[in-house]
Chain A
Amino acid sequence: MNTAVATDTIDTSFIPRDPVKDSAQEAFHKLTETVGTPTVENAKMRSRDVNVFYGEKQAIFDVNLDIGNNEVVAMIGPSGCGKSTFLRCLNRMNDTIPSCRVTGDLSLDGEDLYGADLDPVLLRARVGMVFQKPNPFAKSIYDNVAYGPRIHGLSSNRAELDDIVVDSLRKAGLYDEVKDRLDAPGTSLSGGQQQRLCIARSIAVSPEVILMDEPCSALDPIATARIEELIDELRQNYAIAIVTHSMQQAARVSQRTAYFHLGKLVEVNATNDVFTNPQHELTENYITGRFG
């Protein structure tokens, strides 16, 4: 019984083409300028005409985007559209991928990210990152959180370090679950707990900007709510960029939302506007679920 049929022999011309999809595709190809307000006054981080290449393949096209002080910028878009890639430009994590090449201007507080004054080590202490997949160190829970403060010499004695660790774990909503076993290996935690540990680890350094790549994708609603609360708290002092696949989350935590599509930044606007009144066809298709 052979059910497999070679698809290239089937005539598909009888299938009606989706007019929405076609016009959106056209609009995308025509897209040269981002719709909305990608720039803000007194931005914490600025990016101008950023292009990223993986070898020959271009992953990001001419992106201009600012992250303001005390604001959360959400980045949304279909899988593979370059959200992580762009986020990783902001603390030069892409440097470590040999095939990756970044062009354009990126700055933190007006300082060129690639300038001589801003060493990548210093930059990453100032711009923290939470990764898409939890990646705790092969060390104890305590040492995971204490690692950043230790290498940067942020505490002068053990008591101070203890305070930083407990405080960070509390902020990440993990303290109550692990307070009895701070010596247990970080990898012995569940996936969601590990992710919160990674969040605690990055806020322990008190960075100025925090980049979060789908921080809640492995979390249950309660932990997610805790993290969202944390993001809101952190916003008082930091600038935050968060990649998320959950539109509700973007709507809840962010002030501005950026929609990426196939490496281009299609639209940036106040979060409310993006979700209630999207300007670009592609954005509308995406948030109404017509495009995945």
Chain B
Amino acid sequence: MSDTTTKVRASLKKRYAAEKRFRLYGVTAIAASIGFLFILLFSIVGKGLPAFKSTFVKLDVQLDSATLGISDEPTEAELRAANFGGLIKQTMRDRFPEVSSRGDKKALYQLLSTGAEYELYDKVKADRELLDSTISLWLPADDELSALIKSDADLSNPDSIVTRMSDKQIAWAKSLKDAGQLEVRFNRTFFTNGDSREPELAGIRAALMGSAFTLLITFALSFPIAVAAAIYLEEFAPQNRWTDIVEVNINNLAAVPSIVFGLLGLAVFINFFHLPRSAPVVGGIVLSLMTLPTIIISSRAALKAVPPSIREAARGLGASPLQVVTHHVLPLAMPGILTGTIIGLAQALGETAPLLMIGMVAFIVDIPASVTDAATVLPVQVFLWADSPERAFVEKTSAAIMVLLVFLVVMNALAVFLRKKFERRW
């Protein structure tokens, strides 16, 4: 046996052992990260799922013009001022005629959400024919009652229930439930409403639209600027001190804490350019400042990874420098550029600090319809709800996080799809 053979053989075992150990570390690391991910998902989904359901009370409402205090042919303004609240209270009193004291009546009204009267108003506004008829309607229940029903509590045994509701209220709830007038349904309100002080009326729509508008601005600004900058720096710029300085500064920019960008946005865009406060347009600009370096750096890396021989081949055929880039280099670098973009946008989607500085932390009830309307974004909404005292906001918080995650997944899926499109077999 030759010397090499003995030596190699002697070391083989050690080498394989090292490899085995390394693999074990790898598997452990992956298992740990998957474990943590699952814990996170489980706790969020577990807490957040109830928020997608909500309890409704079925009431037979007699739409009596007299009770509403309106004429037979009500005008728009008359209808808006009509006493729908009173009508609902009347209906509740009719349902429970035995309730007489003022305190009890007040407690009885509390079973329904304050949003019930708006629901009724919307219904009548949509169809005037309903006036002076009796309609059967599912109206949103109050959040405490809703939580009680959703948790499937034993209503006949009030002592076992932890709730802020009184025993009387529980008894009424039981009566409603036994009569089939209580039902847990899909919570559409959560997806159609803006924020509200009442948990049962609070929705994610405003924040979702705010996030969408903000990211749209961020993408529209940062993607073209960053890619153009990366192409110029990588393919056209001469290698000199100036480009070195630019490069160092871009790298530094990537490391600047995001709140600094918020301060900059406040000082420049709001105070100097007088762009609207709390608007996605400013948020988008600020976030694109933050995303730019990320996309530039990853785009440059992607461009650098394109083999120089491809450039030579194209140039050798007489392609102009721009043709070399657009026909050959850019398509090959696109998957890498898209990966960088999605990382940058995902970062922007989860960002709160810079948005606090430009006033996007507002209490937004109206759904923003354009990039200049006041808006908030999903992570800020999460933050706001997590800070609210009502118990029902706990599940809203988790539900908002779920919506945020779904948004992220959709965004990623889009990027993967685009990447697959560009990344042909070669």
To the question of whether A and B form a pair in one complex, the answer is yes
Taking beta carbons and an 8 Å cutoff, which residues of A are in contact with B?
A: 1, 91, 93, 96, 98, 121-125, 128-129, 131, 133, 135-138, 147-148, 151-152, 185-188, 198, 201-202, 205
User: Across the two chains, which residue of chain A brings its CB closest to B311?
Assistant: A96
Say whether B3 contacts A1, CB under 8 Å: yes
Taking the closest CB of chain A, its distance from the CB of B237, in whole angstroms, is 11
Q: Which of B41-49, B123-131, B312-320 contacts A (4 or more CB under 8 A)?
A: B312-320
Judged by DSSP, the binding face of A is helix
CA distance A128 to B318 in the complex (A): 8
* In the assembled complex, B350 has its CB within 8 A of some CB on chain A: no
User: Across the two chains, which residue of chain B brings its CB closest to A125?
Assistant: B318
Show 29 residue pairs from A and B whose CB-CB distance is below 8 angstroms, ordered by the A residue. A1-B3, A93-B315, A98-B239, A122-B318, A123-B318, A124-B315, A124-B318, A128-B317, A131-B309, A131-B313, A137-B310, A137-B314, A137-B328, A138-B310, A138-B332, A138-B426, A147-B317, A148-B317, A151-B317, A151-B319, A152-B318, A185-B424, A185-B425, A187-B426, A188-B425, A188-B426, A201-B313, A202-B316, A205-B317
Question: Which 4 pairs, one residue from A and one from B, show the smallest C-beta to C-beta distance?
Answer: A125-B318, A135-B309, A124-B318, A129-B316
Say whether B311 contacts A198, CB under 8 Å: no
Judged by DSSP, the binding face of B is helix
CA distance A257 to B328 in the complex (A): 36
Say whether B317 contacts A135, CB under 8 Å: no
- What B residues does A148 contact at CB under 8 A? 317-318
- What A residues does B319 contact at CB under 8 A? 121, 147, 151
Say whether A91 contacts B316, CB under 8 Å: yes
Apart from A137-B328, A151-B317, A201-B317, what 6 extra A-B contacts exist at CB < 8 Å?
A96-B311, A124-B318, A135-B313, A138-B426, A152-B318, A188-B425
- What A residues does B309 contact at CB under 8 A? 131, 133, 135
- Give the residues from 288 to 333 in chain B that come closer than 8 angstroms, CB to CB, to chain A: 307, 309-320, 323, 327-328, 331-332
Say whether B318 contacts A151, CB under 8 Å: yes
Say whether B313 contacts A125, CB under 8 Å: no
CA distance A59 to B253 in the complex (A): 41
Taking the closest CB of chain B, its distance from the CB of A275, in whole angstroms, is 30
User: Across the two chains, which residue of chain A brings its CB closest to B319?
Assistant: A151
- What B residues does A133 contact at CB under 8 A? 309
CA distance A93 to B314 in the complex (A): 11
Taking beta carbons and an 8 Å cutoff, which residues of B are in contact with A?
A: 3, 238-239, 307, 309-320, 323, 327-328, 331-332, 424-426
- What B residues does A205 contact at CB under 8 A? 317-318
Q: CB within 8 A of A121: which of B3, B318, B426? A: B318
- What B residues does A129 contact at CB under 8 A? 316
CA distance A186 to B312 in the complex (A): 16
Say whether A125 contacts B315, CB under 8 Å: no
- What B residues does A188 contact at CB under 8 A? 425-426
Taking the closest CB of chain A, its distance from the CB of B311, in whole angstroms, is 7
User: Across the two chains, which residue of chain A brings its CB closest to B316?
Assistant: A129
Taking the closest CB of chain B, its distance from the CB of A35, in whole angstroms, is 32
CA distance A129 to B3 in the complex (A): 50
Known: A151-B323, A185-B426, A201-B317. A138 touches B328 (CB 8 A): yes
Say whether B313 contacts A93, CB under 8 Å: no
CA distance A91 to B239 in the complex (A): 23
- What A residues does B239 contact at CB under 8 A? 98
Taking the closest CB of chain A, its distance from the CB of B201, in whole angstroms, is 55
- What A residues does B312 contact at CB under 8 A? 93, 96, 131, 135
CA distance A136 to B328 in the complex (A): 11
User: Across the two chains, which residue of chain A brings its CB closest to B313?
Assistant: A135
- What A residues does B313 contact at CB under 8 A? 131, 135-137, 198, 201
Say whether B310 contacts A135, CB under 8 Å: yes
- What A residues does B323 contact at CB under 8 A? 151
Say whether B320 contacts A121, CB under 8 Å: yes
Say whether B317 contacts A124, CB under 8 Å: yes
- What A residues does B320 contact at CB under 8 A? 121
